[in-house]
Chain A
Amino acid sequence: KAGVTQTPRYLIKTRGQQVTLSCSPISGHRSVSWYQQTPGQGLQFLFEYFSETQRNKGNFPGRFSGRQFSNSRSEMNVSTLELGDSALYLCASSEGGLVALHFGNGTRLTVT
C-alpha cells in the first residue's frame, strides 16, 4: 500500500497570505489528523477528521481550518499567515480506534 502523501513538500508564503496543504491517506483509512511541528513547541495536534466530520480539535486559532472529502483525502487551510506559522505540518491517517497513526513526511511552510 502507498503511504500517506502530503503535497507540496515545501512552501514559501508571505505574511498575510493564505495557504492550503493537501494530504492523501493510506487507502482504506478513514481518519486523518493534522499536526504542527516547530523546534520550540514540538508536535501539537491541530484537528482530526473521520468520515468527513471533524471529530476533535486542538487549541489553535480559527485561522487554521480543515476539511475531509468523501475519498478521505484532506486539506488544511491557514488564512492570514503570521511569521509564527512557519513550521512542519504533518498529516497522519489511521483506521480509527486504538491503532498506530501513519504519518506523511510533512509540508515545510516558511512564512516571510
Chain B
Amino acid sequence: KNQVEQSPQSLIILEGKNCTLQCNYTVSPFSNLRWYKQDTGRGPVSLTIMTFSENTKSNGRYTATLDADTKQSSLHITASQLSDSASYICVVMGNTDKLIFGTGTRLQVFP
C-alpha cells in the first residue's frame, strides 16, 4: 500500500534553534516529493518539489533532502522563527499522478 509517514508528530523548539523533520514513503514507482507548510486556518503553501534526480533543494531557511534509494526525505529548518510555527506536510506523487499526503508534523516555536 502506498503510504507516507512523517515523524515526529509534533515538535517544540525555541526560537533561533534548528530542527529536522522526517518523511518516509513506500510509494512506488516514485515521481516527485513535495513539502508544504500549513498555518492554522489556512491552506498549505508549497516549500519545495523534488524529483528522483534531486538530492537537495533549498527555499530560504528551509532545506529539503531526498534519498530515493531508501525512500526517505527530510526538511531542515535553520534559525527558526516564531512564524515557522505550523504543520509541515510531506506529499509524494507516484506514477498515477495522485498525491499521497503524510499526516504532518506540527511544529511550535517558542520565544
- The distance from the CB of A26 to the nearest CB of chain B, in whole angstroms, is 12
Whether the pair B46, A100 counts as a contact (CB closer than 8 A) is yes
Contact-size category for B: 20 to 34
Whether the pair A103, B45 counts as a contact (CB closer than 8 A) is yes
In the complex, what residues of A have CB within 8 A of residue B41's CB?
A: 105
Q: Which residue of A lies closest to B101 (CB)?
A: A43
User: How many A residues have CB within 8 A of the partner chain?
Assistant: 20
Contact of B89 among A43, A98, A99 (CB under 8 A): A43
Contact of B101 among A44, A56, A102 (CB under 8 A): A44
A100 to B49: give the CA distance in the assembly, Å.
7
Whether the pair A58, B98 counts as a contact (CB closer than 8 A) is yes
Whether the pair B43, A42 counts as a contact (CB closer than 8 A) is no
A56 with B49, Cβ < 8 A, contacts A42-B102, A90-B43, A103-B44 known: no
- The distance from the CB of B7 to the nearest CB of chain A, in whole angstroms, is 14
